[in-house]
Amino acid sequence: MLRILRKYKISLLLLVLLGVSLVWWNQSRGFDNSAMDGIPVYADVDESSILESDSVNSKLEASYLSYYEEKQQDGAKDSSDFTLAIPSGDYKAISSEGTEVMTDLGGKPGKVLALKAEDSWVEYKFTVPADGLYQMGMEYYALPGKRSSIIRSVKIDGEYLFSQVKKMEFQRMWKESAEPWLDNQGNEFNPKREEVTGWQYREFRDAEARTADPFRFYLTKGEHTVKLEAIREPAALSELRIFSPEPLPTYAEVKQEYENKGYKPVQNQVIKIQAEESSLRSDPTLKRIEDREPLTEPFNKDAIVLNSFGGVGWRTGGQWAEWDFEIPESGLYNIAIRYGQWFLNGIPVERRIMIDGEVPFQELNALKFPYKAEWQVNKLGNEDGEYFFYLEQGKHTLRMEVQVSGVGGMIEAVLNTTHKMSLLGREITQVTGTNPDPNGDWQLEQNIPNLVPRLHLMARTLDDAVQDMYAFGVADGSSELSTLYEARDRFLEMAKDTSSIPGRLQQFTDLQSSLGLWVNGLMKQSIVMDYIEVKSEDQPWPKDAAPWYTRVGTMTYDFFSSFTKDYSGIGNTYKNEKVLDVWISRGRDWAEIIKQMVDEDFTPNTGIKVNVNIIPTLAADQKQILLLANTAGLAPDVALGVEGEVPIDFAVRNSLVNLNEFSDYQEVAERFRAGALIPYKYDNGDFALPENQNFTMLFYRKDIMAQLGISEKDIPNTWQEVMELIPVLQQNGMDFYYPHAPNNPSLAINEFAPFLFQYGGDFYKNNGMLSDLDSPEALTAMKMWTGLFTNYKLQKQADFYNRFRSGEMPIGVADYSTYILLSTAAPELTGWWGMKPMPGIEQADGQINRSTGGLAQTGIIFKDTDMKEESWEFLKWWTSADAQENFGSELESLLGVEARWNTANVEALKRLPWQQDDIDAIMEQWEWFKEREVVLGGYYTTRHIANIWNEIVLNGKFPREAMEQGVREINKELSKKREEFGIETSQTSSAKEEGGQK
Average pLDDT of the chain is 88
* Average pLDDT value for residue range 461-482: 89
Among the listed ranges 84-88, 305-309, 795-799, which one has the minimum average pLDDT value? 795-799
By the 10 Å C-beta count (0-12 exposed, 13-18 middle, 19+ buried), 883 is classed as: buried
pLDDT of 646 above 70: yes
pLDDT of 248 above 90: yes
Work out the percent of the chain whose per-residue pLDDT is above 70. Answer: 93
Residues making up the chain, counted from first to last: 998
How far is the C-alpha of 610 from the C-alpha of 625, rounded, in Å?
20
For residue 58, what pLDDT band results from cuts at 50, 70 and 90? Answer: low
* Average pLDDT value for residue range 217-227: 97
Quickly list H helices, 655-807. Answer: 665-669, 702-707, 719-731, 748-758, 776-790, 800-806
CA triple 199-203-204, angle to 5 deg: 120
Helix (H, G, I), strand (E, B) or coil at 783: helix
H or E element that contains 496: helix 482-496
* Average pLDDT value for residue range 680-697: 91
pLDDT of 25 above 60: no
How far is the C-alpha of 210 from the C-alpha of 352, rounded, in Å?
12
How does pLDDT run across 341-379, given as a tens digit for each residue?
Answer: 999 888 999 999 999 999 999 999 999 999 999 999 999
| Region for 353 from its dihedrals, namely left if φ exceeds 0, alpha if ψ lies in -120 to 50, beta otherwise | beta
For residue 27, what pLDDT band results from cuts at 50, 70 and 90? Answer: very low
* Average pLDDT value for residue range 854-875: 92
Eight-class DSSP state of 371: -
pLDDT of 434 above 70: no
* Average pLDDT value for residue range 496-519: 84
Work out the percent of the chain whose per-residue pLDDT is above 90. Answer: 57
Between 880 and 302, residue with greater pLDDT? 880
How far is the C-alpha of 118 from the C-alpha of 831, rounded, in Å?
12
Q: Are 149 and 317 in contact, with CB atoms under 8 Å apart?
A: no
Q: What is the pLDDT of residue 990?
A: 53
Query: 144 to each of 192, 194, 619, 805, 913, how far by Cα in Å?
Result: 17, 12, 39, 33, 12
How does pLDDT run across 715-740, given as a tens digit for each residue?
Answer: 999 999 999 999 998 887 788 999 99
State phi, psi for 737 to the nearest 5 degrees. Answer: -115, 130
How does pLDDT run across 437-458, given as a tens digit for each residue?
Answer: 777 788 888 888 888 999 999 9
Q: What is the pLDDT of residue 348?
A: 94
**Close Cβ partners of 604 (under 8 Å, ≥ 6 residues apart):** none
For residue 480, what pLDDT band results from cuts at 50, 70 and 90? Answer: confident
Helix (H, G, I), strand (E, B) or coil at 305: coil
**Close Cβ partners of 354 (under 8 Å, ≥ 6 residues apart):** 364, 397, 398, 399, 400, 401
How does pLDDT run across 199-209, given as a tens digit for each residue?
Answer: 999 999 999 99
Q: Are 732 and 811 in contact, with CB atoms under 8 Å apart?
A: no
Between 654 and 985, residue with greater pLDDT? 654
**Residue 425 CA neighbour count, 13 Å, CB half:** 28
pLDDT of 998 above 80: no
Q: Which amino acid is at 573?
A: T
Helix (H, G, I), strand (E, B) or coil at 174: strand
H or E element that contains 326: strand 320-327
By the 10 Å C-beta count (0-12 exposed, 13-18 middle, 19+ buried), 829 is classed as: buried
In this structure, the strands spanning 638-643 and 580-584 are parallel
Q: Are 243 and 126 in contact, with CB atoms under 8 Å apart?
A: no
pLDDT of 16 above 80: no
Between 619 and 150, residue with greater pLDDT? 150
Q: Rank 254-263, 500-509, 982-991 by mean pLDDT and report only the highest.
A: 254-263
Largest CA-CA distance found in the chain, in angstroms, rounded: 115
Buried b (16+ CB within 10 A) or exposed e, 907-927: ebbebbbbbeeeeebbeebbe
User: pTM here?
Assistant: 0.81
* Average pLDDT value for residue range 970-974: 92
H or E element that contains 236: strand 235-243
**Which three-class secondary structure string do you get for 739-760?**
CCCCCCHHHHHHHHHHHHHHCC
DSSP assignment of 433-472 equals -SS--TTS---HHHHSTTHHHHHHHHHHHHHHHHHHHHHH
pLDDT of 125 above 60: yes
How does pLDDT run across 268-278, given as a tens digit for each residue?
Answer: 999 999 999 99
pLDDT of 5 above 60: no
Looking at the chain, the number of H-run helices and the number of E-run strands are: 29, 46
CA 909 distance to own-chain centroid: 19
Identify which of 901, 851, 880, 912 has the alpha carbon closest to the alpha carbon of residue 692: 901
**Residue 637 CA neighbour count, 13 Å, CB half:** 21
DSSP assignment of 561-592 equals HTTT---SEESS---SS--EEEEE-S-HHHHH
How does pLDDT run across 834-858, given as a tens digit for each residue?
Answer: 899 999 999 989 899 999 988 789 9
Between 623 and 828, residue with greater pLDDT? 623
Q: How far is the first Cα of the chain from the last one, in angstroms, to the nearest whole number?
A: 98
